Amino acid sequence: MDRQRLIFHIDVNSAFLSWESVFRLKQDPTCLDLRTVPSAVGGDAKSRHGIVLAKSTPAKKYGISTGEPLASAFRKCPELFVVPSRFDLYIRYSRAMMELLSDYTPDHEKFSIDEIFLDMTETIHLFGPPLDTADRIRERIRNELGFTVNIGIAPNKLLAKMASDFEKPDRCHTLFYSEIPAKLWPLPIRDLFFVGGSAQKKLENLGIHTIGQLAACDPQLLKPHLGEKYAVLIHQYANGIDNDPVGEKDPVNKGYGNSLTLSRDVSDLETADQVLLSLCETVGARLRADKVLCNCICVELKTWDFRVQSHQITLSSPTDSTSLIYQNACQILREFWDLTPVRLIGVRTSKIAGDEFSQLSLFDSPESKKQRVFEKTVDQIRSRYGVDSIKRASFLSESSIADHAAGKQKHLSKGTRYDSDANSALPDNTK
């Protein structure tokens, strides 16, 4: 059955930066194409606060990586051109691509804002040979939407995703079972999906440096070092085994959340409150962008000695309001934190429902309605002019420990991402 399946994995090349470039060129065809120079989407270029969310191919040559602080990126490339992020804009481009891809199969699964799996098993006969079909899809996205993608073609999701990571940009690659020895097994172990830095070190200490060496290893030898479930999983992946089906529809996210690893340990409420506000800014904006409401709010802490604590409350009525999420997060923090120094703070919302129908509260006031209108207006301004175009006064101080919209991350797939580190698993759709 697996040999009859045909899965495409579509991955946008430098998604945020590509979408930003396309938008700018549509507004002004004579403006600089960010994809052709060392550039990045990130925080505040003037203050050098924030992190790199996406970078151009020329920026990669300087060793700039996604997630590193802007200050570090500028040290590597002083002429780096940095633009603020516009998440509402990126969501619109993502949805336009998903709509285009729905012409090819109803069986698709959104893996992240810039990635999607297509199960072409039942529809490929309508379009022709797989590689030719993938090339036409790639060219159509480039011509109609203005950006480029890589497409991986394989008999399962794992191999399709691995194939899409081969040579970039704007390419199609196959990885069928017969091609595994030549294309997959020579790759370094770190390139295998779900193998993180910690697992890489443990495997290399065992003398395993390539995916092929892992595939040939007895999984029983791995279990004491990696844990039973994780050892079996990555051994299967190294052998190209993955029976996970492609979801027919993209379900409502199970949760929305962000977390921030702090530049220094925090042990006072005032500073912690500011971090919470920064995180709630992006959580609320994402809820509103997806037109959903949350019914539960959780605050998570990681102390200086790496102990993880969390506490949550269920709301009396669902919300997407940044202010309400923040007020409840502050209340939660005061209920369970004993001011032990913390190195990470996170906010997570769950029990997600659509905003088409929600129970009316007798305590809704004109002020709360004005607040919702205000927050949606702020979203629109940031979407058009950048996330840094409007910010709260409390974040204007140079001593602020957090950016005004910290923890901005991509969506993950349904479920939890694995690594052998206990702290590397991330909750549903929070990135």
- Show which residues are catalytic: 115
Spatial CB neighbours of 317, under 8 Å, sequence gap ≥ 6: 358, 359, 361
Q: Which residues pair with 310 in a beta bridge?
A: 300
Locate all alpha helices (DSSP H) within 12-78, ordered by sequence.
15-27, 57-60, 70-76
CB burial class (10 A; 0-12, 13-18, 19+) of residue 328?
buried
CB 40 within 8 A of CB 60: no
**What are the residues whose beta carbons fall under 8 Å from the beta carbon of 121, sequence distance 6 or more?**
4, 5, 6, 7, 107
Closest CA to 70 of 113, 39, 35: 39
Cross-strand partners of 349:
256, 297
Count other Cβ atoms within 10 Å, centred on residue 224: 9
Single out the residue of 136, 141, 209, 195 nearest to residue 165, CA to CA.
Answer: 195
The two structure tokens encoding residue 184: 């997959």
Q: Which of 169, 59, 147 is nearest to 96 (CA)?
A: 147
Cross-strand bridge partners of residue 210: 188
CA dist., res. 337 & res. 309, Å (int): 9
Judge contact between 44 and 84, C-beta under 8 A: yes
Would you say 224 and 362 are in contact if contact means Cβ atoms under 8 Å apart? no
Strands 255-266, 115-119: pairing kind: unpaired
Angle ∠(240,242,245) on CA atoms, nearest 5: 145
- In the structure encoding, which two tokens stand for residue 409, read together? 């991350």
Helix ranges restricted to H, 210-268: 211-216, 219-226, 228-238
